[in-house]
Structure 1
Amino acid sequence: MHSPIPALPGIIELSANQPAARPYLGGSGIARFRGIEQPDSHVPEDFLGSATEVFAGGGVGLTVLPDGRPLREALAEDPVGFLGADLAETLPVGQCGVLTKLLSTDGRLFIHAHPDDAFATRHGLGVCGKTESWLILDIDPAHPAEVLLGFRRDVDRDELAQWFEEQDVAAMTEAMHRIPVAPGDTFHVPAGLPHGIGPGITLLELQQPTDLSILLEYEGYPGIDRSSALLGISRDTALSVFRRETLESEELDELRATRSSRGRAQQLFPDAADNFYTALRFRPDAGAGSTEVPAAFSIAVVLGGTGRLSTAADSCTVGRGSVLLVRHDAGPLRIDATLDVVLCSPAPPLRAA
């Protein structure tokens, strides 16, 4: 006989889940945000509520729940409880449809781009590519806080290949938009758009649930060589994922747009993100009571304040740096008015009209 599946509460606190030996320096901002020690100098990512492995596999990056099971296994055993019937019906077994991360750079993150769904499928890299979006949480004033996003001019295919072969970082960065950032800024980064992140930035990232990156810049990053930078694909094929056309200022503004608030709630990313995931920020409001949110699978990241997250059956006191998984079957979630919280959820399944 099979052992009974352990019951899990509707709100599950998640400890840090930082894959080791990543190729770029980072992690100090995660340590400050979560109020923990930084394990070492190369742990720049915290995979939150993750059913996604790093590209090298081996289970690295998977969240392990308090009962000892990987989240991927728990999702496979009880998809309707975690996700609700609609998502459970449409997502692959053991998946939750989104990867949420904390990311903290103590060195510069290389210039790279991500494949889209069609490229990933065509080249045997999985069923989805990687569109992502960022909320800047904190900056280190010791560094010029900036990100690189898109090209300021059209870049010829041969020029891009030359930059890669010569590892001409000066030419790469000179051709890109260099954007100063501050806490609260948001960015939507579609698959294919070249980007990099300067040192001293801590951000919350939502992305499609995969770990696929093609690196234009790789020299000087431990564990990465020419072949792995290209995911083992031929150079010209791999570099074809990069959007080489100019990113005009009007489109850049759209990628940085947020939407109007509805009471405490604000949709953090532009409409283009809705096909992939949703990030709703609930800001503190001393004049309001608690806010009720409909039942949904979500990763709750507490940015500030102290208060309670509650369902009909569970309640917990949380503060800045708390990260929690909320199951669909917990029912509606109530968020105290004292809290500043982002709820990160997969996109709802598409239905025929």
Structure 2
Amino acid sequence: MNEPIFLQSVFQERIWGGTKLSDLFGYAIPSEHTGECWAISAHPNGQSVVKDGPYQGMALGQLWASHPELFHSESPVFPLLIKLLDASDDLSVQVHPDDVYAGEHEQGELGKTECWYIVDAEPGASIIYGHEASSKEELARMIQDGQWDALLTRIPVKPGDFFYVPSGTIHALGRGIVVLETQQSSDTTYRVYDYDRRDKDGNLRELHLEKAIDVSTVPQAYEPIAYETQTREGITITSFVSNAFFTVEKWDVSGRAQLAARERYTLVSVIAGAGSLRIQGGEYTLRKGDHLILPAGFGSFELDGELTLITSHE
């Protein structure tokens, strides 16, 4: 199949969500507390659906299972999940398990290594990334004593920043931030601290301290990220991270750029601008907020316009 697969997103309401997914991307969101756009997802908790073309109306998980020739992957499940998150309030401080722990404790769910591209950030916005405890015992004690300011490492952020968040990293988005998140296809989160917030029924939200302490990396390990950038006619490609879970790049298109095919599929999210994608026999409009898959064997193609894309693949 030599045409892109455009997807319809799924929206998730969250206690910390807002309206920026509508304000910035023009999405029709379900409420004023919309926290997540599951843009490219085959996870059972929210599956993207093909917008048009020969597979119109098909859920991504069904497409993955019934048309493996579109992906050329050895993974038994669609391995990635692409989200846009609107943190209009602070997210809970949390940590995610790796594949082994999740497989044993979460009914075979994948672990959750993820990364964030900061799309938008209000002045003074920050994230929590890592902690200061030197042992599991100290981590448990500082959590028990509520020593959050001493325990948690806070980092200021601005639009265009990128953060790699391996499983085991204690983390949280702060208020006033919109991110594009590339992650393993998992919905397992262990909450460490939630600011004593209550849900719509007035109950304190559940924490998962035993599991969180189990899976947290102690002492905190910070992996250096060395970006690689290449510029050629019409495009600058920034390679953020490439590992066993995913490869994530930013494509800044200005004018006309020719790109070669990949053997496997590529996931594409348009986070700024507008333009077009051209292949032999077809042209497709690209707008901010579009999410699509370039299937395996897609062939060479041309991008034209003023566009910023975040792309990923296995």
* Fold agreement, TM-score > 0.5: yes
Partner of 1:13: 6
Would the aligned equivalents of 2:42 and 2:61 in 1 still touch at CA under 8 Å? Answer: yes
From 26, 34, 40, the equivalent of 1:49 is 40
Runs of 5+ unmatched residues, structure 1 = 1-7, 54-59, 348-353
* Match status 1:32 vs 2:23: yes
Residues 80, 114 of structure 1: alpha-carbon distance in 2 compared, 3 angstrom cutoff: same
* Match status 1:178 vs 2:147: no
Task: Give me the whole-angstrom Cα distance separating, in 1, the residues matched to 2:293 and 2:198.
Answer: 33
Q: CA offset at residue 278 of structure 1? A: 1.5
Q: CA offset at residue 44 of structure 1? A: 0.9
Which digits, 9 at most, give the CA deviation of each residue in 1:135-184, with x for residues without a partner?
A: 1011134xx21111011x33443443345556x2xx22432221111111
Partner of 1:217: 193
| Over 6 Å off, 4+ runs | 223-227
Task: Give me the whole-angstrom Cα distance separating, in 2, the residues matched to 1:311 and 1:320.
Answer: 20
Correspondences of 1:56-71 after superposition (within 5 Å): 60-66=45-51, 67-71=56-60
Residues 283, 237 of structure 1: alpha-carbon distance in 2 compared, 3 angstrom cutoff: closer
Would the aligned equivalents of 2:8 and 2:50 in 1 still touch at CA under 8 Å? Answer: no
Partner of 2:86: 104
Task: Give me the whole-angstrom Cα distance separating, in 1, the residues matched to 2:185 and 2:17.
Answer: 21
Task: Give me the whole-angstrom Cα distance separating, in 1, the residues matched to 2:291 and 2:207.
Answer: 32
Residues 258, 160 of structure 1: alpha-carbon distance in 2 compared, 3 angstrom cutoff: same
Which digits, 9 at most, give the CA deviation of each residue in 1:11-59, with x for residues without a partner?
A: 2333331123x3x321422222321344213321111221113xxxxxx
* Match status 1:281 vs 2:250: yes
Partner of 1:315: 283
* Match status 1:116 vs 2:95: no
Paired residue secondary structure (1:216): strand
From 234, 258, 270, the equivalent of 1:302 is 270
Residues 227, 344 of structure 1: alpha-carbon distance in 2 compared, 3 angstrom cutoff: same
Partner amino acid for 2:218? R
Task: Give me the whole-angstrom Cα distance separating, in 2, the residues matched to 1:339 and 1:329.
Answer: 23
Runs of 5+ unmatched residues, structure 2 = none
Task: Give me the whole-angstrom Cα distance separating, in 2, the residues matched to 1:161 and 1:41.
Answer: 36
Partner amino acid for 1:91? S
Task: Give me the whole-angstrom Cα distance separating, in 1, the residues matched to 2:150 and 2:57.
Answer: 48
Partner amino acid for 1:222? D
Partner amino acid for 2:84? L
Paired residue secondary structure (2:16): coil
Paired residue secondary structure (2:24): helix
More strand, by proportion? 2
Paired residue secondary structure (1:284): strand
CA-based RMSD of the aligned residues comes to 2.6
From 44, 61, 82, the equivalent of 1:72 is 61
Partner of 2:171: 195
More helix, by proportion? 1
Task: Give me the whole-angstrom Cα distance separating, in 1, the residues matched to 2:182 and 2:107.
Answer: 20
Paired residue secondary structure (1:135): strand
Residues 179, 227 of structure 1: alpha-carbon distance in 2 compared, 3 angstrom cutoff: closer
Task: Give me the whole-angstrom Cα distance separating, in 2, the residues matched to 1:198 and 1:157.
Answer: 25
Q: CA offset at residue 238 of structure 1? A: 4.2
Task: Give me the whole-angstrom Cα distance separating, in 1, the residues matched to 2:312 and 2:25.
Answer: 17
* TM-score normalised according to structure 1 size: 0.77
**Aligned residues, how many?**
305
Partner amino acid for 1:65? V
Would the aligned equivalents of 1:267 and 1:278 in 2 still touch at CA under 8 Å? Answer: no
Partner of 2:125: 145
Q: CA offset at residue 71 of structure 1? A: 1.0
Would the aligned equivalents of 2:197 and 2:204 in 1 still touch at CA under 8 Å? Answer: no
* TM-score normalised according to structure 2 size: 0.86
The more displaced of 114-123 and 101-110 is 114-123
Partner of 1:208: 184
Correspondences of 1:333-348 after superposition (within 5 Å): 333-336=301-304, 338-345=306-313, 347=314
Partner amino acid for 1:146? S
Would the aligned equivalents of 2:198 and 2:204 in 1 still touch at CA under 8 Å? Answer: no
**Same amino acid, percent of matched pairs:** 26
Would the aligned equivalents of 1:10 and 1:313 in 2 still touch at CA under 8 Å? Answer: no
Would the aligned equivalents of 2:38 and 2:81 in 1 still touch at CA under 8 Å? Answer: yes
Would the aligned equivalents of 1:99 and 1:208 in 2 still touch at CA under 8 Å? Answer: yes
Would the aligned equivalents of 2:238 and 2:251 in 1 still touch at CA under 8 Å? Answer: no
Task: Give me the whole-angstrom Cα distance separating, in 2, the residues matched to 1:106 and 1:227.
Answer: 18
Residues 238, 227 of structure 1: alpha-carbon distance in 2 compared, 3 angstrom cutoff: farther
Which digits, 9 at most, give the CA deviation of each residue in 1:240-285, with x for residues without a partner?
A: 11123145xxx36x14x42232533434423xx4211112222133
